[in-house]
Amino acid sequence: QYNGRTGYLSYEVGGAITYDSDPEQEYEECLLKAAALRKALE
């Protein structure tokens, strides 16, 4: 979501948690998704 008044952009990323998910890997996946989005917006 972009706020034109403040110039602030926020976005959300996430992963799918399943029975055999590794929480650390899910967190790393979120960081990778966020990094890709930031790079695309630069």
Structure tokens of 23? 């929480």
pLDDT at 13: 93
| pLDDT attached to residue 39 | 96
DSSP string covering 1-42 = -EETTTTEE---------TT--HHHHHHHHHHHHHHHHHHH-
pLDDT for res 42: 87
So what's the pLDDT on residue 16?
86
> Residue for token digits 């930031």?
38
Per-residue pLDDT tens for 9-41? Answer: 999 999 888 999 999 999 999 999 999 999 998
Contacting residues for 1 by C-beta, under 8 A, at least 6 apart: 9, 10, 11
* pLDDT at 33 (0 to 100): 96
* Domain segments of the chain as ranges: 2-41
